Structure 1
């Protein structure tokens, strides 16, 4: 489900579940965390295999955790992985070539640099079926794109293209080959890369905000238990 290749000073981490549009399971999340945190390289490049970057959480898994009552553990797992991506020593670059939805957007938000190709699209569709991205997305999204854009993007559930994503700041650039940009970072001083990441990202504790996110997600899962059960069949 995860393919890892160390390409010189860049570790390429590929979400490799193309038939499910790289939808995230607990096992895939754990493997992703290990691949990023254990990287021996100054730069990690995160991509998706096939036509999607990542479709978000596998809804069949959400259905199972809703049935088992283990929602909090599932949300905390996703938050932990996103936090690990954000705080790891390596600079993490997301290369979005295709669809990023829900948890896939949240993974990208946790990365240090987000690059899109013209084929990239972004959406937070959870609101259309009664959920939302609870892996830190409600904290990171307004920080990155501003409050107004964050509310429009998340409350509408609409899909935006790469150019609009760049305009609102969801991605920093639209490029032909995000991998080449990631490799270009390694021309810089490796120690300086790590120190700059640490200083720019120093925003204090998020624990209270993440606790509130867990509680809100639990309420919505409970309210939509019947609909979610259909994804587990």
Structure 2
């Protein structure tokens, strides 16, 4: 079984993350996602994509244990940049990608969801960037994308506390397009995808190429700075303590070094 299920429903592709229990974003899963984007891009019949998670979560984050297996700052920076490049590709994709979010979209899971063009969430889903509670920072462009949706003040609050917000709060903050009942999230995302797919592919591709112009040129500089900072912080003693505490399910003892 692959880490991503690929299903075609008329002109819509449904991608399902299937990496239980947390649907953590390992390098293998991200590689599978990239391969699936290649496949979608060459299929002229596909006009919209729905991305969802199997089981309890959309995705509860990046694969922390895999991150900690890296040795050097350059390895961490490379890992961060690869994730950023993939998520940037999603954001620049010529076909709209709709994230159907239930359970949780945390850390890398939220960063993936933020790279999608539209987010449908359940009322009680948890969306957040909890990295600081592990003594690290977001590394897949979370520090740059979140302020675009919720504003800088809310982004500071969410990233510095690491505390997630609910699906309802995400809708109010501008992070989610629609909030729906738990059992309706996939159907609503698919319905929206089918509505989009009823249009001409020429029009869809044109719109997908135009809206990204609204993003400032600072974004590229920002994600480079994030990758560098991510690498530097991951080598700190606090990061080692924070990740170890997370694995051991205890409160970290940060020493600010």
TM-score w.r.t. the length of structure 2 is: 0.84
Root-mean-square deviation (Å):
2.0
Who is 1:212 aligned against?
Answer: 225
State the alpha-carbon separation in 2 of the partners of residues 232 and 18 from structure 1. 17
Aligned to 1:226: 240
Q: 1:36–1:44: 8 Å Cα contact kept in structure 2?
A: no
TM-score by length of 1: 0.92
Q: Which whole-Å CA distance do the structure 2 matches of 1:111 and 1:196 have between them?
A: 15
Task: Quote how far apart the aligned CAs of 1:204 are.
Answer: 5.3
Match of 2:145 in 1: 140
Deviations 1:193-213 (A, max 9, x none): 221121111235433212101
Could you tell me how far 1:54 is from its partner in structure 2?
0.4
Question: CA 1:192 to 1:34, structure 2 compared with 1: closer, same or farther past 3 Å?
Answer: same
Structure 1 residues 60-71: aligned runs within 5 Å: 60-66=65-71, 70-71=75-76
Gaps of at least 5 residues in structure 1 are none
**Distance (Å, rounded) in 1 between the aligned partners of 2:163 and 2:7:** 34
Question: What is the number of equivalent residue pairs in this alignment?
Answer: 232
Q: Which runs of 5+ in 2 are unaligned?
A: 249-257
Tell me how far 1:229 sits from its aligned partner.
Answer: 6.0
Q: Distance in 1 between matches of 2:149 and 2:205?
A: 20
CA-to-aligned-CA distance 1:65-110 (integer Å, 9 cap, x gap): 1468511111111111101111111111111011110000000110
1:98-113 equivalences under 5 Å are 98-113=103-118
| Cα deviation 1:18-55 (Å, max 9, x = unaligned) | 22x10011111011122124312111111001010001
Q: Does 1:197 align with 2:208?
A: yes
